Structure 1
Amino acid sequence: MQVLPISVVVPVRNEERNLEDCLSRLGRFAEVVVVDSGSTDATVEIARSAGARVVEFVWNGQYPKKRNWVLINQKLIAPWVLFLDADERISDEFCNELGRKISDPDTNGYWLNYSNFFLDKRLNFGVPQRKLALFRVGCGLYERIEEVKWSALDMEIHEHPVINGRVGTIDVKIEHNDFRGLENFLKRHLEYAKWEANRLMLLRKDGLASATHLTRRQRIKYEYISRWWYPLAYFAFTYVVKLGVFDGRAGFEYSFYKAWYFQVIRSLIDENERGAGTELGRASR
């Protein structure tokens, strides 16, 4: 079986529940690197038992975060790097398409598509998830954003890689399934919202037009996210226009909580503009 000339990087922290299944599907890759942020469970032992190279990452609250830190500081043995999360599962069909696509000498990166689960149900409708998470080593880094402990996120979640050269798409989907309960979902999205509110404030300070590297989806989000109607419009778009209604209860709740998430971002921005959000206010000065 063909060994893919790709280094798979899996950033983790306390992922003993997900990691073993994720790593068990990576036997066709040149190397697997697990980047750990001080796990207190069996994550590191599972990674080493699976034959992965484990490196430790300690974040100081500023640039670089985990993925850029790997790209800048670690020697990857393959010419390509694929970033996977521990709750993501790949298939042989996905690997086969990778083998075909990365042989194109004119393409330096690929968007990946995902099949999401919520409430332990596969979402067949709604806004599709995709990430630019496969690219040639040396052809790009994740966006450099000069944050100062905006949130507890030590890994690039909403930052996209900025790639030099042509970018294509891998069509076979990656399975993304890690619903650890609603409380955990809401806590994660509260951290995401804190980060996004700070990001928008920084973009406003520097001028949105100057951020030429933003994707079309990012640009639309940051242009309109502070409008009162944005959460409602997002719910209507994903639940009605993108047919999330056909995913039943899971489709409704996923659309509802994503709209809640955008409303939290708006509220945090409003707080800061009123001078009430002291933490956000300090970050914006």
Structure 2
Amino acid sequence: MLDLTIAIPVKNEEKNLGGCLEAIGRGLVRKIVIIDSGSTDNTKAIAKEFGADVLDFYWDGKFPKKRNWFLRNHTPKTTWVLFLDADEYLTADFKADLKDALTANSDKNGIYGFWLNYSIYFLGKKLKGGYPLTKLALFRVGAGEYEKIDENQWSKMDMEIHEHPILKGKISNIKSKIDHRDFRGIDSYVDKHNQYAAWEAARFSQILNDADLSNQFTWKQRIKYRMIHSIWIGPLFFIGSYIFMGGFRDGSRGFAFAILKMSYFTQIYCRLRELKQKEENRLI
């Protein structure tokens, strides 16, 4: 059994959570914790039936959000913690590589976290192309926490979404992929990205006046925030994803996926223009 806690933040995830837990399996890790934000469906019942611990989280609209709240108030007793979304499914190859990675680093040889790779499923099938999805979601307990962003209910999201942990130590990666599936449908996908866009626009507005925050960005974040004020960010993402990163190999699904992502980035640009206009009107 791995000296690892898997923490799964959820809200109304009955369509995804059962499959996520079954993919983890029993006996792989010391503890599985479900951090619930007031689910009104069968999410909590599914978690308890599996034998996972359930914590109730109530967000006050400010820092900390769900993951940092868990790290601060329910600090895992294990050496490692892995944050997993309910629509992320551990594969057999990933679990094998996870065991190897944590066993090899059991003597604290300087590795404090791992970047993880994900396969993206869209409209029921795995995408062959498009930009790769990676997250820094596995790290040593006590090695750091997610970025501190002082927000005031920019959106309804009570969980750190596009933030990443700031760790003190070397970071490696696990190459085998986790399957990123979502069985809640396109309505959920679009609604979720509307909230993401509102949050991203508000965050970018704050970044302009916070040098310390921008110094913590990954190279991908730096590129995104350099381009995000330009109307071309959406079309450039589409060209990169669909053409240069091979999204065309997925046919109509790849085209639709790239179009939706292009729309997402274009929406962020429009929201930024709107925020700027409101600020200018306020100063008049």
* Structure 1 position 177 matched with structure 2 position 181: yes
Is 2:154 aligned against 1:150?
yes
CA distance in 1, matches of 2:216, 2:275: 26
> What SS does the corresponding residue of 2:209 show, helix, strand or coil?
helix
Secondary structure of the corresponding residue to residue 173 of structure 2: strand
Partner of 1:237: 240
1:270 corresponding residue in structure 2: 273
* Contact 1:179/1:185 (8 A) holds in 2: no
TM-score of the two chains, using structure 1 as the length reference: 0.93
Which 4+ residue blocks in structure 1 deviate beyond 4 angstroms? none
Determine whether 1:63 maps to 2:67. no
Distance in structure 1 (CA, Å) of the matches to 2:236 and 2:130: 13
Is 1:48 matched with 2:48? yes
Q: Runs of 5+ in structure 2 lacking a partner?
A: none
Give the Cα–Cα distance (whole angstroms) in 2 for the partners of residues 90 and 170 of structure 1.
Answer: 12
Q: Deviations over 1:154-187 (max 9, x none)?
A: 0011011111100000111000110423222111
Equivalence for 2:6: 8
CA drift of 1:29 comes to: 0.7
Work out the percentage of aligned pairs sharing the same amino acid.
42
In the TM superposition, 1:210-225 aligns within 5 A as: 211-225=214-228
| Unaligned ranges ≥5, structure 1 | none
* Root mean square deviation, CA, Å: 1.5
SS, match of residue 274 in structure 1: helix
Give the aligned partner of residue 162 of structure 1.
Answer: 166
Matched, 1:125 2:121: no
Shift in CA distance, 18/179, structure 1 to aligned 2, threshold 3 Å: closer
**Distance in 2 separating the partners of 1:24 and 1:272:** 44
1 CA distance for matches of 2:279 and 2:40? Answer: 36
Conserved? CA contact 1:37–1:58, under 8 Å:
yes
Question: Under a length normalisation based on structure 2, what TM-score does the superposition of the two structures give?
Answer: 0.94
**C-alpha distance in 2 between matches for 1:184 and 1:257:** 13
Match of 2:76 in 1: 76
Q: 1:276 Cα shift? A: 7.5
Equivalent pairs, count: 276
